[in-house]
Amino acid sequence: MILIDQLIGKYNTISLIGMVKNAGKTTLLNELIDQAYWEKTILGLTSIGYDGEKTDSVTNTPKPTIEVFPGTLVATAQSLLNREHLRYEVLEVTDLTTVFGPIVIVRMRNHAEVELIGPRSNHGIEKVSRIMKNWGAKLVLIDGALDRVSSASPALADGVFLSTGAALSRDMNQVVNQTLHRINLLRLKSVTTNLSDFKLLKENNQIGIMDDKGHIDVIHLKTGINAGSELKNHLKNNSKYIFFPGAVTYSTLKDVVDLTHGKVAVVVSDGSKLFVERDNYHELLAKGLKIFVLDEINLIGVSINPFSPKGYYFDSEILKQRLMEKVKDLKVINVFES
């Protein structure tokens, strides 16, 4: 199956995120790069913050490096380009900084392996994507992240691939259920009113409560974590929405549901900011939790890696089928399918 053909022209930027380390995200990325090579399509590549290390820093399992071909555009930190084997043309040096030097945009001139360390912010990712498009990239692939610390969100990409796999659990049911739960969160629907007000809160990184007349009470808290007592002081009878700009956990959602009995809907920046387990989430839904996002994520596919670094593996066809039954409109790809 040639996937890249279906993506070119339809999307400008695609973000790849993984449910867990070793979910096969980098394998999918390399697969797309290979396909682009066969199809003679110019790609732009970058990542959110750190990624593309030779060895996975957590599990120490071998992690495929990002392989690039002549003509590919790459946005990465300057010191990672000081490698003898790399041949490239420097196109732009940005003012985006990392501990490894500024983010530089280059056009590769040889077939080589590169390490990607891209910008950490939404603004930075948007900027390097735009630059690479201007220099001729047909599609920009962003090696993304799904964690609490990343400030750059997959929501800013036109399309998102979620990678999942056996690394998540020994129990295939668990893998299927957790993945479907994550898909649900990622595909949460956008709030329909007062979008510009919520956008402003997000830009200012502020928690805010909106009442039925659209008035906003800004709460000065760094995160929503353990904010129960503070929220209590601000929630009124006529409160309608509560907006959180950053990561939101079960305890915060529980605080809101317990304090308001579901009368106040939670709005988060996007579905990748929610960190609540499936059972807890369903418990809260039963208690009346209403939840919306500001920016919808356009999930276009799920990739599965049937192998776990711990040695066990699933029958990839069964795993694939079980996911496809539940999410009929998504592409489900086995990254190791030959």
Partner 1 sequence: MFFRFSTDEKLDIDYILDKVNISSVYGKSRKVDIKPYFDKDALESEYDLMDLVIENLLKHKLTFTKVRNVLKDIKEIRGTINRLEDGVVLSEVEFFELKKFAFGVRLLNNLLLPLKNLLDILPKRLLDVEKILDPKDDKIPTFYIYDNYSLVLKETREEIEKLNKDIENEKAVLFSALSKKYDLKIRPNGEIRISKSNSHYEEIVQDDNFAYLSENYGLVVFTINLNHGYSEWMKKLNKLKEIEQSEEEKVKIDLSNQLKSYVSLFLENIDRIGHLDFILGKASFAIAYNLIRPEITMGDAFEIEEGINIPVADRLRREGLEYTPIDICLERGASVITGSNMGGKTVSLKLMGQIAAMAQHGLFVPAKRVKFPLRDYIYISVGDTQDMSLGLSSFAGEMVALSEIVNQSDKRGLILVDELSRGTNPQEGYAISRSITDYLNDSNSICVFTSHFDGITKGKVHYQVRGLKNINFDNMIEGQSVIENLHHQMDFTLERVDDKEQVPKEAIPIAQMLGLNEIIISKAKEYLIQNQKGGNNNE
Helix boundaries (H) for 151-266: 172-186, 195-203, 228-234, 250-260
203: CB partners within 8 A, 6+ apart: none
What gap in Å lies between CA 254 and CA 228, rounded to an integer?
9
What gap in Å lies between CA 69 and CA 63, rounded to an integer?
19
Residues 106-135 that bind partner 1 (CB under 8 A): 107, 109, 111
Q: Is 84 in the site for partner 1 (CB under 8 A)?
A: yes
Cβ proximity to partner 1: between 102 and 228 the closer is 102
Cβ proximity to partner 1: between 108 and 185 the closer is 108
Q: Is 195 in the site for partner 1 (CB under 8 A)?
A: no
Q: Is 100 in the site for partner 1 (CB under 8 A)?
A: no
Residues 153-192 that bind partner 1 (CB under 8 A): none
In angstroms, what is the minimal distance from the CB of 67 to partner 1? 6
Window of 3-11, 29-37, 216-224, 228-236 that interacts with partner 1 by CB under 8 A: 29-37
The continuous run of DSSP H or E covering 95 comes out as: strand 88-98
Q: Which of 228, 246, 262, 309 is the binder for partner 1 (CB under 8 A)?
A: 309
Residue 104 one-letter amino acid:
V
145 touches 51 (CB < 8 A) = yes
What gap in Å lies between CA 43 and CA 240, rounded to an integer?
44
In angstroms, what is the minimal distance from the CB of 22 to partner 1? 8
64 touches 25 (CB < 8 A) = no
Q: Is 305 in the site for partner 1 (CB under 8 A)?
A: yes
What gap in Å lies between CA 154 and CA 145, rounded to an integer?
8
Q: Is 41 in the site for partner 1 (CB under 8 A)?
A: no
In angstroms, what is the minimal distance from the CB of 204 to partner 1? 21
In angstroms, what is the minimal distance from the CB of 326 to partner 1? 25
23 touches 164 (CB < 8 A) = yes
**Chain contacts with partner 1 (rule: CB under 8 A):** 22, 30, 34, 37-38, 61-62, 67, 69, 78, 81-82, 84, 87-93, 95, 104, 107, 109, 111, 305, 307-309, 311, 313, 336, 338
